[in-house]
Structure 1
Amino acid sequence: MKVIALQGRPSSAERILLDAMHRLRMRVFSGRLAWQVSSRAGREFDEFDLMSPTYIVALCTTRQIAGCVRLLPATGPTMLERTFPQLLANGRLNAHRAMIESSRFCVDTAIVEERGARPLHEATLTMFAGIIEWSMLHGFTEIATATDAR
């Protein structure tokens, strides 16, 4: 399993991955978690996808998306402040330039790797490593996120 960062203007190959990522988000957030989410043609999108995020995507050896997450600078509009202010002291995120917000983290629980590994566990750890590595490479020292414990 490997992890890649998608940011900026996507290539045609990256557009295919982004499409698959948005379909996975729809299956996870609308289907499995039964959240009320915005969708277009079976793909989950929200206002934060319009803010030039970086997406960290875990890929299986078959290039199937195993997991994904969206990263945005915490100094801009954040999902934590706009959607989940009840999770923050005083409803505000004490953001600074070295803080990134992680949102829409999900892993495809239906993935089966050829080598018989524990793909859910491996995808989750790969995603965490990718988020931390990307953050460190780009000067971020803190990650803000909200996680559904399910």
Structure 2
Amino acid sequence: MQALAIHATERDAHCAVIDETHRLRARVFADRLGWDITTRSGCEKDRFDELDVTTIVALTDDGVVAGCARLLPATGPTMVADVFPQLLDGKNLEAHDGMIESSRFCVDTSLATTRGKSLHEATLTMLAGIIEWSIANHYSEIVTVTDTRFERILSRASWPLQRIGQPRMIGEVMSVAGTLPVDRASFLRVRSPRYRSEIAGLQKIAA
């Protein structure tokens, strides 16, 4: 499975892949998880997609989108600060130039792929791709909002979340905000043996 990074300026060149990521988001967040979000024509988008985003994509060997996530500089508008400030426990997000926000992380677990560390290969590919891109672009820390179920998955992948505040119910989901380190050791722990990437920096990180 291969990781791919698509910046906002490259969306037109990868429009088919980007469209499929929005369809995957609709299937996962609206259909499977029942989030209170807006979908149109089978796609899920929000106002953050119009900003300076980079989309990390996991592609199967057949070119099928198996996972995606959205990365956004934390010094600008972010979901954790602007949509879920209650998860910060009354604190300000201590954003800095080395911090990136990850949001809309999802994986198509219906795809038949191998597993590593008992986790779906697409999940491991996504985690490794996010770290690799962040290192290559000089980020040192990731901030994210996730549910406690995925927090446990991160621990199983040996990339534990450092909580910013206490978990709270968001709709029907117990959610938490936290940070994750961006470093070579984390990349080497989470990547699967079959991991491939078109993200600059892989050879330098893995060497």
TM score, norm. by length of structure 2: 0.67
Corresponding residue number in structure 1 for 2:30: 30
The 5 Å alignment of 1:1-150 reads: 1-7=1-7, 8-12=9-13, 14-113=14-113, 117-118=114-115, 121-150=120-149
Displacement, 1:118?
Answer: 2.7
1:9 match: secondary structure: helix
Displacement, 1:11?
Answer: 4.0
Displacement, 1:9?
Answer: 3.0
* CA deviation string 1:69-98 (max 9, x = no partner): 000000000000111111113253110010
Residues 56 and 69 in structure 2, CA contact (< 8 A), matched pair in contact too: yes
Displacement, 1:31?
Answer: 0.8
After superposing on structure 2, the runs of 4+ consecutive aligned residues of structure 1 that deviate more than 4 Å are none
Name the one with the larger strand percent: 2
Residues 54 and 71 in structure 2, CA contact (< 8 A), matched pair in contact too: yes
* CA deviation string 1:17-53 (max 9, x = no partner): 0000000000000011100112221100001001030
Residues 109 and 120 in structure 2, CA contact (< 8 A), matched pair in contact too: no
Identity over aligned residues, as a percent?
53
TM score, norm. by length of structure 1: 0.92
2:97 match: secondary structure: coil
Equivalent pairs counted in the alignment come to 146
Tell me, in whole angstroms, the C-alpha distance in 2 between the residues paired with 1:91 and 1:45. Answer: 28
Tell me, in whole angstroms, the C-alpha distance in 2 between the residues paired with 1:35 and 1:16. Answer: 25
Opposite residue 140 of structure 2, the aligned amino acid is T
Displacement, 1:149?
Answer: 3.1
